[in-house]
Amino acid sequence: MPRIAIDDDELLAVRVAELYYDEDKTQDEIGGLLGISRWKVGRLLQQARADGIVRIEIVHPRARKLGIERDLRERFGLADAVVVPNGPSDTETLGRVAQGAADHLAALRPVPKTLAVSWGRTLTAVADRMADGWARSVTVVQMNGGVSVNRRPGGAASLAATIAQRAAGQVALLPSPAILERLETKQAIERDRTVAGVLEQAAQADAYLFTAGVCDAGSAHVENGYLTVQDIDELARRGAVGDVLGRYIDADGNIVDPELDARTVGLSLERLRDARTAVFVTAGEAKHDIARTVVASKLCTMVVTDEATALTLLELDK
């Protein structure tokens, strides 16, 4: 085959890229075809990527968006970030984020001896994707109340137990609803030796795994019978963007209803802010506002999320 004479470097970079990526030619073969050195072929391939002539995208559901992760770490001072591609549906996106969180937990070093967890649909999805043997002898502790008022199956106890079982560990459950009707009842429950012991164990955990809820009629607190739609509407009127550990906060991370908060069973938000390892898992457009509040308010040291949420966080922070 005769050598191809091309003088324009940009056009040459295009031709090199076509031969390399579309026709599976080696760099030596391309050099022979175009009459240039192998070294120049390599330089032109680098130029093609730098100039946007070639875009390489990894499309596997468990792929990660490393550049966006770096931006999140730098912008918000995070210890780590995991960003996965959005799926074709909200359900698929949640699954990808949950798998990313499961992979991240399995890779944590040092492996936490005690892992405190919250509850909700997102963390249930994470628990379902934890591999058998993801760690050894981890004690999983429930860090906020979650006994369902309407006795729905699954929930806080189930996901905590699943994560512990798959690490051949123990589970410490918090035998209390998330929110009590009377302050006196909540205070009495927290004085119970068993409940107090679990909360103390959670407060001393090596790592924390949590999600956040939205402040709308789809809230898990409405679904589980703790609050009514009217309660949620009133919280939203006061500025609530969602809840963390059952505690409803505004866009700046402040508690919006101190009286409700006083009846909420579980660790305080200050404990999350003080934690060395606090992994926040969130997915989907509905949670963009609460996700920004959690990250910007320093309630987490690590975030696991989808690409669209991550880009929204970076845009809102400008």
* Gap between the Cα atoms of 185 and 191, Å rounded: 10
* Gap between the Cα atoms of 219 and 234, Å rounded: 14
CATH architecture assigned to 8-51: Orthogonal Bundle (1.10)
pLDDT band at 316 (very low <50, low <70, confident <90, very high): confident
How does pLDDT run across 123-140, given as a tens digit for each residue? 999 999 999 999 999 999
How does pLDDT run across 207-228, given as a tens digit for each residue? 999 999 999 988 889 988 889 9
Does pTM surpass 0.85?
A: no
pLDDT of residue 151: 47
Tell me the torsion sign for CA atoms 20, 25, 26, 27. Answer: negative
pLDDT at 311 over 70: yes
Average pLDDT over residues 247-268: 95
Residue-level length of the chain: 318
* Gap between the Cα atoms of 176 and 90, Å rounded: 31
Q: Which two tokens stand for residue 145?
A: 């109340």
pLDDT of residue 61: 67
How does pLDDT run across 83-101, given as a tens digit for each residue? 999 999 999 999 999 999 9
* Gap between the Cα atoms of 309 and 287, Å rounded: 8
Q: What value does the mean pLDDT of the chain take?
A: 90
Those residues whose C-beta lies under 8 Å from the C-beta of residue 86, and which sit 6 or more positions away, are: 93, 96, 306, 307, 308
- What share of the chain in percent tops pLDDT 70? 93
How does pLDDT run across 147-175, given as a tens digit for each residue? 665 445 457 889 999 999 999 999 999 99
The domains of the chain are located at 8-51, 66-315
In degrees and rounded to multiples of 5, residue 78 shows phi and psi of -80, 150
3-state helix, strand, coil in the chain (%, to 5): 45, 15, 40
CA angle 276, 282, 287 (to 5 degrees): 125
Contact status, residue 75 vs residue 317, Cβ threshold 8 Å = yes
pLDDT at 262 over 90: yes
pLDDT of residue 134: 95
* Gap between the Cα atoms of 33 and 118, Å rounded: 61
Contact status, residue 200 vs residue 179, Cβ threshold 8 Å = no
CA distances from 257 to 49, 247, 261 (A): 52, 9, 6
If one counts every other C-beta atom within 10 angstroms of the C-beta of residue 204, the result is 11
Please give the distance of CA 141 from its chain centroid, rounded to a whole number: 19
pLDDT of residue 1: 43
**CATH class of domain segment(s) 66-315:** alpha beta
Contact status, residue 233 vs residue 258, Cβ threshold 8 Å = no
Contact status, residue 287 vs residue 122, Cβ threshold 8 Å = no
- What share of the chain in percent tops pLDDT 90? 75
How does pLDDT run across 51-67, given as a tens digit for each residue? 888 887 766 667 788 89
pLDDT of residue 7: 53
pLDDT of residue 2: 44
